[in-house]
Amino acid sequence: MARPRWPQKYPMAHILFVDGHNIAFRAYYGVGRLNRRDGFPTGALYGYASTVLRLEEAVHPEFSAAFFDSGRSVERTQLLPDYKAQRRPMPEELRLQLPQVRRLAGLMASAVVERPGVEADDLLASQAVTEAKLGNSVAIASSDKDFAQIVSPAITLWRPPAAGSHSFHWVPMGPDGVREKFAVEPSQIVDYLSLVGDAADNVPGVPQVGPKTAAKWLNSYGSIEEILAHGDELPPNLAKNLREFASNLERNRRLISFDLSLCQTPMERHSFDWPALLEFFREFELFSLIERATKRYGLQQRDLFS
């Protein structure tokens, strides 16, 4: 069945790439406790499907793919043994749902992508840049700010609503949005995060250098190399911290930068089996999603059994 088209609300994109684990974790913690009648947890499944349906309606993609982690990056862990080490253990209810989240993602997307020893972020970013070079517009759904480094006129980062906003709508961030949020260019995001650090990945930044200071330096000097070259123009205490941390800045860059060499060809397009998706919702008793998907994809209930 061909992917349906809906009335346009936002700039359309040819392709939607979903950061699978990122969405699943947000769904699990956002939905709360939800179970099938036999006790199997379904909150992450419900939240993942709801989020992707909402993104599909906003983005209008012709093709979509979900990317999942299959283990932590060996190279990054060698660079920084504490890389992502602060993350709390996965709750058992979420662990039980993840195989079904992958199955659900396969029903809602044209492809599910994962590779042992390679982080999903690298796979997604590399594929997005490849597709953009081929003339396709790409929407990336993730709360991970690292993706801001590849935002361009062809690549838009869709971020979740702010906490406490009481909104369910994800917000697109293009180059202007990156400049508004971080006060630097997308091409400077790696240097920006290298200076301020990234608590989500346990990457330490320069002591006492926060977002405003990092943005000010990058707007004045352009890059980390130029900031270091003009250290005598900085406040003495910050210049001292910068000098002492300088040997770690290249490490931070390597930790934060995506490996964009992983994908060199466009992804193969597959047909969709929307009745199978609705059957999945029945299996996990996600009946409100049956109604939403039936309406959205223009199906009839009898299609479930055709």
Q: Where residue 12 falls among pLDDT bands split at 50, 70, 90?
A: low
Judged against a pLDDT cut of 80, whether residue 301 lies above it is answered with no
Q: Which residue has the higher pLDDT, 140 or 81?
A: 140
Q: What is the pLDDT of residue 299?
A: 54
Lowest pLDDT segment from 25-39, 195-209, 285-299 = 285-299
Q: Which residue has the higher pLDDT, 164 or 111?
A: 111
Q: What is the pLDDT of residue 109?
A: 80
Portions of the chain given CATH number 1.10.150.20: 186-256
Judged against a pLDDT cut of 90, whether residue 278 lies above it is answered with no
Q: What is the pLDDT of residue 102?
A: 95
Q: What is the pLDDT of residue 168?
A: 66
DSSP 62: S
Answer yes or no: pTM beyond 0.85: yes
DSSP 38: T
Report helix, strand or coil for 125: helix
Q: Which residue has the higher pLDDT, 265 or 110?
A: 110
**pLDDT 10s digits, 17-42:** 999 999 999 999 989 889 999 999 99
Determine the Cα–Cα distance for residues 43 and 31; give it in Å rounded to an integer.
6
Phi, psi of 120 (to 5 degrees): -60, -35
Q: What is the pLDDT of residue 298?
A: 63
Judged against a pLDDT cut of 60, whether residue 191 lies above it is answered with yes
Q: What is the pLDDT of residue 302?
A: 43
Judged against a pLDDT cut of 80, whether residue 122 lies above it is answered with yes
CB atoms within 10 A of CB 198: 18
Q: Where residue 110 falls among pLDDT bands split at 50, 70, 90?
A: confident
Calculate mean pLDDT across residues 244-269: 87
Determine the Cα–Cα distance for residues 242 and 135; give it in Å rounded to an integer.
40
User: What would the two tokens of residue 231 be?
Assistant: 């250290």
Fold of 15-175+260-305: Rossmann fold (3.40.50)
Report helix, strand or coil for 82: coil
Strand order in the sheet with 15-19: 111-113, 63-67, 15-19, 138-141, 155-159, 171-173
180 dihedral zone (left: phi>0; alpha: psi -120 to 50; beta): alpha
117 dihedral zone (left: phi>0; alpha: psi -120 to 50; beta): left
Portions of the chain given CATH number 3.40.50.1010: 15-175+260-305
**pLDDT 10s digits, 82-103:** 777 667 788 999 999 999 999 9
Instruction: Please state which CATH class domain 186-256 belongs to.
Output: mainly alpha
Among residues 183, 243, 230, the alpha carbon closest in space to that of 211 is found at: 183
